[in-house]
Amino acid sequence: MRRYALAGAALALIASAVPGAANDDVLKQTAKPEQWAIQTGDYANQRYSKLNQITRDNVKNLRVAWTFSTGVLRGHEGSPLVIGDIMYVHTPFPNIVYALDLKEDGKILWKYEPKQDPSVIPVMCCDTVNRGVAYANGKVFLHQADTTVVALDAKTGKEVWKAVNGDPKKGETNTATVLPVKDKLIVGVSGAEFGVRGRVTAYDMNTGKLVWRAYSIGPDDEILVDPEKTTSLGKPIGKDSSLKTWTGDQWKIGGGTTWGWYSYDPETNLFYHGTGNPSTWNPAQRAGPDGKPIDQKWTMSIFARDADTGVAKWVYQMTPFDEWDFDGINEMILADIKVGGQTRKALVHFDRNGLAYTLDRVTGELLVAQKFDPQVNWTTGVVMDKNSPQYGRPQVVDKYSTFKNGADVNTKGICPAALGSKDQQPAAFSPTTGLFYVPTNHVCMDYEPFKVSYTAGQPYVGATLSMFPAPGSHGGMGNFIAWDAGEGKIKWSIPEKFSAWGGALATAGGVVFYGTLEGYLKAVDEKDGKELFKFKTPSGIIGNVMTYMHGGKQYVAVLSGVGGWAGIGLAAGLTNPTDGLGAVGGYAGLRDYTNLGGTLTVFQLP
């Protein structure tokens, strides 16, 4: 395999590159509030709509306008897109894409159904989900479960090009959407539970040709960093910053996969992504030669990369030497907010580890790091003193460490559980209130590591988990919160029986929407969280609420179809409490409230 980007050439490129315009078509399409042209609403991942026909006063009158069955029964994450008169809807494996005519309540214009080998299904970690398609320049882009990247003609559904991004026989799969930026399509990869080495890859949007590839871990020229110019917390990362934190060749099967959400800042030409857990989940097998913890850079990190070259400007590691599977892949929301009385160009990230981070998105300076679920107990917090050698690091509470001198010890009562205080379900930001609206998990776990050997294409987990509601609270497994990212404080919180696993939507009408695992679409007041509307859809909601306008009317739409990690028991028919990496037992009660079924439900005012 040829080297995708030589270090010298790549670094020269970033030194000479002038920040350019983002993909003109994506900017053009996302500027139209009547459309929903990218999964995250816009490049900044704000998931905010300027549409205001539906308000806090009339949202109670919402009714179902029309529905559409996807024909697939596994977990439905992501959301539809709307471009003009056409809605594009996707499904979990086998990753069908539909083009629906909005002029005729969802008449099927075309259907694309890839022919994938079903052997990819057992290689997918936590259900066969997919977080949706992207649109740019008259093409619809799909990243399939088997890692095939496909460009489709948006009018006909015919293949324009396809590229293979990985090998499922090695455990490499995909669950994420893609990011179209300028003339490139940026994609990630899943599979850290199989020892896959994470990376982001850019393909030419017009031809499918590979342009560059940047790994999360390994040699400098493969992770595309400049030891002297790429910084972490304001300091150069130095030569072999990743290799020095791994023992031997462990980095080659070290995880750090990139299956989350990406954002992009056209002003700086930087795109942002997170990296996942180190492999294996047994921290004792990743300890240094002296038997002590070692950081395993750059897993569990936020990268800011140049969109043209992939070279990193800065990187920040949130959970060094992870002992709990707190993947750092959740969305990076870009917003200008006040921090300490000063408006900052911020990046806000709600991490699986239960901490909400506010950073300067240009420099990577850490501004705020606070718990967004009070039950988080594995850490006392992050050191914010810039003069301390521990600056930027979370301080681990020994009682909740799963690394006990190499012994396989069942550590009990860790909060949050491995699926985090928030998983991939995206938050929203309202520029009107300056608040972030966050669907969260309120779940703890017992965690017992065990020794595991690596075999390509076989699970490389090395831990048994059980999950349960956070004790001493409302008894439920979720909250929907409003968060002030400048102060690092919860403004209000709505308790939920199960995790709030549906992505949020904020609107100019003063209404915030989200979905629940039981299947409720809920609308609440952006100011105080007062419930204004709810409707129970045919199945649990793990999809993301979106809105659009057609024929002069504003619509709200959401995919329902229970599944994902929290709903894997229902989705895959599992009953052993420790299956699904511990989620089956924790969410066993979900069976009493919902069942399988993939449905798009579209709402409107009378």
CB 139 within 8 A of CB 151: yes
d(CA 538, CA 594): 8
| Paired strand residues for 348 | 333, 358
Tell me the three state secondary structure of residue 104: helix
CB 522 within 8 A of CB 516: yes
d(CA 13, CA 31): 30
Length of the chain: 606
CB 538 within 8 A of CB 597: yes
d(CA 144, CA 40): 19
Largest distance between two CA atoms of the chain: 68
325 is catalytic: yes
Task: Kindly give, in sequence order, each residue whose CB lies less than 8 Å from that of residue 224, ignoring residues fewer than 6 positions away.
Answer: 5, 7, 10, 212, 214, 215, 305, 309, 310, 311, 312
CB 589 within 8 A of CB 518: no
Tell me the three state secondary structure of residue 62: coil
Contacts 24+ apart (CB under 8 A), 534-537: 535/62, 535/64, 535/601, 535/603, 537/599, 537/601
Residue carrying the six token digits 């704000």: 46
Q: Closest Cα partner for 416 from 369, 364, 352? A: 352
What is the DSSP track for 184-219?
Answer: EEEE--B-GGGTPPPEEEEEETTT--EEEEEESSS-
d(CA 464, CA 585): 12
b vs e for 501-519, b when ≥16 Cβ sit within 10 Å of the residue's Cβ? bbbbbbbbbbbbbbbbbbb
Active-site residue, from 127, 183, 322, 325: 325
Sheet holding 463-469, edge to edge: 411-414, 443-449, 463-469
Q: Closest Cα partner for 78 from 526, 519, 515? A: 515
- Residues with a catalytic annotation lie at 325
